[in-house]
Amino acid sequence: MRAIILLLTGCLLCACGGGGNSNSGGNTAAPGNLCQRNDINAQVFCALQQDYLWYRDLPASINPDNYASPSALLQAVAAPQDRYSFVLTAQEYQDRFINATFFGFGFSSVRSDNNSALQIAFVYDDGSAAQNGLRRGDKITEIEGVSVSQWLSQLDAGTISSEDIYGPNENGVVRNFIWQKPDGSQLSADFIKSDVTTNTVLHRS
């Protein structure tokens, strides 16, 4: 099954702002017309129409300017069963999967169905998260003493940015994480941001 990884050539666009404006009005456009536009949000929706596994579930018309970033647009239009698709800049893709370098705690996650946790999609062996026992399939429930559900509600409301949750992208930044294993046990550790050499083969059996 093929979901989609969207690669953008522009600068990184976080949930706090970016691609378009936040107007709630405006005319909607048919997907075919959006492919003639050069703005990032329109190009993202055009790519979804062409390559998305659940393309039949996409809205028939849409106004990309209603979404503050490509990630916000994707989250709004993605099929309910889609827990896999995400947005990367071209440079992020190059750094993470081609150059095999990554800066951060060394994990990637998706939201759980009820936004109560962050489900771990993969961990890099060289990162602080893996070294402290975080594994694929675990669920992060708390960061810096604040529940993930509370963090995500503030993030969606636009009152905070991802930097408020994870800290600035600086070497040595520490955040405390609490997570739950699939067997229900709970662990806690401080993760430290650093340059991580990535294992681009993420699973083997």
Q: Tens of pLDDT along 57-101?
A: 999 888 999 998 898 999 899 998 888 888 888 888 887 778 777
Domain annotation covers residue 205: no
Segment 30-50 shows an average pLDDT of 85
Q: What contacts 204, CB < 8 A, 6 or more positions away? A: none
Chosen domain end from 35, 55, 89: 89
Given pLDDT bands bounded at 50, 70 and 90, which one contains residue 18?
A: very low
Backbone φ/ψ region at 100: left (φ over 0), alpha (ψ -120 to 50), beta = left
In this structure, the answer to whether residues 109 and 188 fall within a common structural domain is: yes
Chosen domain end from 89, 119, 152: 89
Report helix, strand or coil for 52: coil
CB 33 within 8 A of CB 81: no
In this structure, the answer to whether residues 81 and 110 fall within a common structural domain is: no
Q: What domain range is 172 assigned to?
A: 105-197
Chosen domain end from 19, 54, 89: 89
Domain annotation covers residue 99: no
Q: What percent of the chain has pLDDT over 70?
A: 83
The tokens for 101 are 């370098």
Burial class, 80, CB count within 10 angstroms (exposed 0-12 / middle 13-18 / buried 19+): exposed
In this structure, the answer to whether residues 44 and 122 fall within a common structural domain is: no
Q: How would you label 57-73 residue by residue, b for 16+ Cβ within 10 Å and e otherwise? A: ebeeebbbbbbbbbbbb
Rounded Cα distance between 172 and 175, Å, is 10
Domain annotation covers residue 50: yes
Report helix, strand or coil for 179: strand
Domain annotation covers residue 95: no
Domain annotation covers residue 157: yes
Instruction: Give the DSSP per-residue string, 16-44.
Output: TS-SS---S-S--B-HHHHTT--SHHHHH
CB 104 within 8 A of CB 170: no
170 has pLDDT over 90: yes
In this structure, the answer to whether residues 78 and 129 fall within a common structural domain is: no
Rounded Cα distance between 26 and 23, Å, is 7
In this structure, the answer to whether residues 76 and 129 fall within a common structural domain is: no
In this structure, the answer to whether residues 117 and 50 fall within a common structural domain is: no
Domain annotation covers residue 152: yes
Rounded Cα distance between 180 and 23, Å, is 39
Domain annotation covers residue 94: no
Q: Find the helix or strand (DSSP H, E) in which 137 lies.
A: none
DSSP one-letter code for 64: G
CB 61 within 8 A of CB 31: yes
Over residues 121-169, the pLDDT tens digits come to 889 989 999 999 999 999 999 999 999 999 999 998 889 999 999 999 9
How many structural domains is the chain composed of?
A: 2
Say what the pLDDT of residue 94 is: 82
Instruction: Please report how many Cα atoms fall inside a 13 Å half-sphere around the Cα of residue 6, on the Cβ side.
Output: 30
